Amino acid sequence: MGYQKQPDFGTPASRSDVPVTLTIDGREVTVPEGTSVMRAAAQIGGDIPKLCATDMVKSFGSCRLCLVEVEGMRGTPASCTTPVTEGMVVKTQTPRLEKLRRGVMELYISDHPLDCLTCSANNDCELQDAAADVGLRDVRYGYNGANHLGQADDTSNPYFTFEADKCIVCSRCVRACDEVQGTLALTVDGRGFASKISAGTVEDDFLSSECVSCGACVQACPTSALMEKSVKQHGKPERSVVTTCAYCGVGCTFRAEMRGEQLVRMVPWKDGKANRGHSCVKGRFAWGYANHQDRITTPMIRDSIDQPWREVSWAEAISYTAGRLKDIRDQHGARALGGITSSRCTNEETFLVQKLVRGGFGSNNVDTCARVCHSPTGYGLKTTFGTSAGTQDFDSVEHSDVILVIGANPTDAHPVFASRMKRRLREGAKLIVIDPRRIDLVRSPHIQAQHHLPLQPGTNVAVLTAMAHVIVTEGLVDTQFVQERCEVDAFEDWARFVADETHSPERLEPVTRVPAEDLRAAARLFATGGNGAIYYGLGVTEHSQGSSTVMAIANLAMATGNIGRPGVGVNPLRGQNNVQGACDMGSFPHELSGYRHISDAETRALFEADWGVTLDPEPGLRINNMLDAACDGTFRAIYIQGEDILQSDPDTKHVVAGLEAMDCVIVHDLFLNETANYAHVFLPGSTFLEKDGTFTNAERRIQPVRRVMDPANGYEDWQVTQLLANAMGLGWDYGHPKEILSEIARLTPTFAGVTWERLCDQGSLQWPVNEANPDGAPVMHVDGFVRGKGHFVVTEYVPTDEKTGPRFPLLLTTGRILSHYNVGAQTRRTANTAWHPEDLLEMHPTDAENRGLNDGDWAKLASRKGETTLRVKVTERVAPGVVYTTFHHPETQANVVTTDYSDWATNCPEYKVTAVQVMPSNGPTDWQEGYTNRSAKSRRIVTEVSR
């Protein structure tokens, strides 16, 4: 599409269903009650000048440009703050209004730099447009008096600048920070002529402030006072393409704004149903990795991992790879081969990888990163509800009265959704946080959780069972819902189990370390507070009882009747952008797309007829099983698309042993990641900006990904997989991802009504999209559960085998931070490192003092599995006895210390509970000190070969 601004109606839309008819400049218009006169005029093509008004925030009425005349009303009210009334007659253009507006504009312009021709916002500036709209040609006041010109620019933020002399103090940035983002980092300091926008710190700059660089202020600014540095560097964009972000599971829609082949900026799309025009620092700004010098764009091969890489043509790389795979299959059998699909790639690319493994390799040895994050979600929700996905759309939170967040940190991991959640909390919804760490949601501006239950890591099931005990024994169960919608016998078994006194908060307090009265109060609030919604993350799933916890959550929702309508539900906050889609596409070794078991003959026959192959009816190996089998000598080759298992998977030493034992490791990625150190083939990948396809976010929303620029490596990822498949004799002939999507829809009941054309026309669809739900299903289980009746499951608390003791007295838990994503391969290659240049170990002051550690000191982190070193951050965010770190930097190798314990049902690793000891250290290990040099050496090798 060509470049054009997104329409701005000046004020937010009214949600009223009551129509109001009025006349504006002789034209009749009908709008919902509560609509502003400004918005009503804009909806019929009227253009009332404005500066302080934008439809992303509430009306303010400060700039006095949008004045109108209303029949029967004294004065000239601001159209942005004046609601429509039945029969109202409005005039937006009269000599009186022209004179008033021109006078206002003269005042603005008399205190503004007149450098329009050299300004980066020239022809894209609302102040410039407003001056033209009111016919301003001359300024009577001159420019020699007191003014704000010549103030120093704030360039501290790596992505945007603040030029104070171009600021008109319209407060749009302040209101966007408050109302859209919810950080409240900005303010108007001073009064009258002395008023100015302030970041509220001693330094008064954006980088040192509480600003989270979401970009809402930049997007709201009507001048170039707040402007992206990329626009200043490359110039105004000339075209745009709407696509979907490739970071977290929120799935924000963006306009990629281009100048030639140069991406100038990413602007959140107002019509995006997941983000509603908002963004975070990663999606908005951290796209520079696409052109980073570390990116590999030419295929490379080597016969053994102790040899240097050799750059080759695509033809040679594909021929070499297919030959190695066929030789291994012929010598060791089909089950010696396998693959790992990517939760960062599109649905279509993921579908083809599992199709290649099943139909080309001849085995079901395919898995995905969901194995190490949300596989318990699939198992637990399918068992209780009948489908392996969350129940609500993100809009649902606007109807919640009580929000329970367990094992998730939305402000860091899912910040755009967190902003919507915070808005609802500021409106009066109540909050319960169950987390061993005091996350930002517990207390932040204008938000405070009613209950924070800082449980002992690993005791999720015990806490939820204790809450259920209170609900059952105090008669707080929604008996009507249970009787009508659930299996009554299963409920009665569960109710008897949780009602036992051994599961009371008092009896379990020594286990959970949550005060019994706090837990009782939280349970009562959830059961009686109105619409109750549960949101959870990896702090639930990455445990030895991950599946049990998911089922315990489902039990709680069913017992309180919080399923099947807006404002309630069980909502897993998916980590990676397409982890839901990767699961949907049949990436697990036991399931084909749509979560149908490979042993089902009817389902298997459907795929066999379509693909023209015979499928193995036996489930294949999970990731950890592949590594085990490699060490045993029975698994020989693996194709890994878009995953870095050496950095992301547990027990790093075991991962290394498995990779070293294989005859052929194929890594298909953007960068030479940690796993590539053990690869024999490197196939360059393409970024989300370089491909077409679809992603499916955490709310089951299928959204189009559109190609913005040509792939730097020459191919989209699905094309690379097709080249490999055809070299192995499969004869695929897809010409566009829409053809793959048609195959997915043909073979997957939940996608039956999905087409590329529909997605491009409607923007998105939420599966299931089929005959029963032709337009999708924003809320699941409305009239009944997918499995028929909801199934309660008894979830006995079983303590983890990972125990603390004299050698390892502390518990380590891990998580993410706002500025980085997953293993950091993308964000570490952007300016996001300004906020988080290294992983830190959070320790409670008592634990730090006992070990002679101060803030910033180096410390050795050791477990039964291994050790690493990192700097300490002393904080009361963690409880005594608990330490916390992130895993974004490979230098840290946090997973060197994690164990091989895993969820009993799915083998999801127990990242969140590792017994450790922390002690002073003189600095990083030799391995860590050598990491940077090794990485630089790898880059030099690639660069030298390229020459």
Tokens of 920: 């002073």
- Phi and psi at 368, nearest 5°, equal -145, 170
- Phi and psi at 486, nearest 5°, equal -125, 165
Place of tokens 């560097």: 233
pLDDT beyond 80 at 931: no
The predicted pLDDT at position 935 comes to 54
How large is the angle between the packed helices 623-632 and 652-661, nearest 10 degrees?
A: 60
For 15, other C-beta atoms within 10 Å of its C-beta total 9
Exposure string of 162-189, with b = 16+ CB inside 10 Å and e = fewer, is: bbbbbbbbbbbbbbbbbbbbbbbbbeee
Exposure string of 284-294, with b = 16+ CB inside 10 Å and e = fewer, is: bbbbbbbeeeb
Q: What is the DSSP string of 738-770?
A: HHHHHHHHHH-GGGTT--HHHHHHHS-EES--S
Q: What is the pLDDT averaged over residues 83-112? A: 94
Q: 810-938 sits in which CATH class? A: mainly beta
The per-residue pLDDT for range 213-241, each reduced to its tens digit, is 999 999 999 999 999 999 999 999 999 99
The predicted pLDDT at position 930 comes to 64
For 84, other C-beta atoms within 10 Å of its C-beta total 27
CA dihedral for 745, 749, 753, 756, sign (positive or negative): negative
Place of tokens 């039990």: 555
CA dihedral for 624, 799, 539, 923, sign (positive or negative): negative
Query: Beta 160-163 vs 226-228: how paired, if at all?
Result: antiparallel
Tokens of 387: 């489908």
Closest CA relative to residue 209, chosen from 200, 221, 218, 217: 200
Is the link from the previous residue into 768 a cis peptide, with omega within 30 of 0?
Answer: yes
When pLDDT is cut at 50, 70 and 90, the band that residue 735 belongs to is very high
Tokens of 228: 């992206």
The predicted pLDDT at position 947 comes to 34
Three-state secondary structure call for residue 728:
coil
- The region, left, alpha or beta by phi > 0 then psi within -120 to 50, assigned to residue 308 is beta
Between the CA of residue 561 and those of 466, 532, 565, what are the distances in Å?
18, 9, 10
Percent of the chain surpassing pLDDT 70: 97
When pLDDT is cut at 50, 70 and 90, the band that residue 945 belongs to is very low
Q: Which residues contact 528 (CB under 8 A, 6 or more apart)?
A: 476
The per-residue pLDDT for range 559-590, each reduced to its tens digit, is 999 999 999 999 999 888 999 999 999 999 99
How far is Cα of residue 734 from the mean position of the Cα atoms in its chain? 30
When pLDDT is cut at 50, 70 and 90, the band that residue 775 belongs to is very high
Place of tokens 């005791």: 459
Q: How far apart are CA 191 and CA 762, in angstroms?
A: 47
* CATH architecture for the domain at 324-372+578-732: 3-Layer(aba) Sandwich (3.40)
Is the link from the previous residue into 749 a cis peptide, with omega within 30 of 0?
Answer: no
pLDDT beyond 70 at 535: yes
The per-residue pLDDT for range 429-487, each reduced to its tens digit, is 999 999 999 999 999 989 999 999 999 999 999 999 999 999 999 999 999 999 999 99
Beta bridge mates, 259: 262
For 318, other C-beta atoms within 10 Å of its C-beta total 22
Question: In CATH, what number does 375-572 get?
Answer: 3.40.228.10
Closest CA relative to residue 822, chosen from 648, 633, 605: 648
Where are the strands (E) in 93-159, listed by range? 153-154
Q: How far apart are CA 323 and CA 333, in angstroms?
A: 14
Q: How far apart are CA 727 and CA 723, in angstroms?
A: 6
Q: How far apart are CA 109 and CA 336, in angstroms?
A: 73
The predicted pLDDT at position 146 comes to 83
Find out whether 842 and 877 touch, Cβ atoms under 8 Å. yes
The per-residue pLDDT for range 382-421, each reduced to its tens digit, is 999 999 899 999 999 999 999 999 999 999 999 999 999 9
pLDDT beyond 60 at 934: no
Please give the single-letter amino acid code of residue 596: R
Place of tokens 């297919």: 322
Beta bridge mates, 69: 91
Question: In CATH, what number does 153-291 get?
Answer: 3.30.70.20
pLDDT beyond 90 at 268: yes
Q: What is the pLDDT averaged over residues 494-503? A: 97
Lowest mean pLDDT among 131-145, 419-433, 756-770, 823-837: 131-145
For 936, other C-beta atoms within 10 Å of its C-beta total 10
When pLDDT is cut at 50, 70 and 90, the band that residue 812 belongs to is very high
Percent of the chain surpassing pLDDT 90: 84
Q: How far apart are CA 79 and CA 51, in angstroms?
A: 12
End-to-end Cα distance, the chain: 37
For 581, other C-beta atoms within 10 Å of its C-beta total 33
pLDDT beyond 70 at 944: no
pLDDT beyond 90 at 529: yes
Cα torsion 271, 275, 277, 282 to 10°: value is: -130
Q: How far apart are CA 786 and CA 658, in angstroms?
A: 39
Q: How far apart are CA 732 and CA 531, in angstroms?
A: 49
pLDDT beyond 60 at 830: yes
- The region, left, alpha or beta by phi > 0 then psi within -120 to 50, assigned to residue 120 is alpha
The predicted pLDDT at position 120 comes to 86
Q: What is the pLDDT averaged over residues 115-142? A: 86
Lowest mean pLDDT among 144-153, 184-193, 806-815, 872-881: 144-153
Tokens of 368: 């995905």
Three-state secondary structure call for residue 696:
strand
**Whole-number average pLDDT of the chain:** 93
Q: Which residues contact 258 (CB under 8 A, 6 or more apart)?
A: 237, 238, 239, 240, 241, 264, 708, 709
Tokens of 465: 């069972």
For the chain, what are the domain ranges?
A: 19-134, 153-291, 324-372+578-732, 375-572, 810-938
For 310, other C-beta atoms within 10 Å of its C-beta total 13
Find out whether 433 and 452 touch, Cβ atoms under 8 Å. yes
The per-residue pLDDT for range 858-873, each reduced to its tens digit, is 999 999 999 999 999 9
When pLDDT is cut at 50, 70 and 90, the band that residue 143 belongs to is confident
Q: What is the DSSP string of 341-381?
A: E-SSS-HHHHHHHHHIIIIII-S--EEEGGGGTTHHHHHHH
Q: What is the pLDDT averaged over residues 503-528? A: 97
pLDDT beyond 50 at 55: yes
The per-residue pLDDT for range 83-94, each reduced to its tens digit, is 999 999 999 999
Q: What is the pLDDT averaged over residues 113-121? A: 86
pTM of the predicted model, to two decimals?
A: 0.94
Query: Beta 693-696 vs 430-434: how paired, if at all?
Result: unpaired
Find out whether 812 and 861 touch, Cβ atoms under 8 Å. yes
Find out whether 442 and 425 touch, Cβ atoms under 8 Å. no
* CATH architecture for the domain at 19-134: Roll (3.10)
The predicted pLDDT at position 379 comes to 93
Q: Please give the radius of gyration of the chain, using alpha carbons only, rounded to the nearest integer.
A: 29
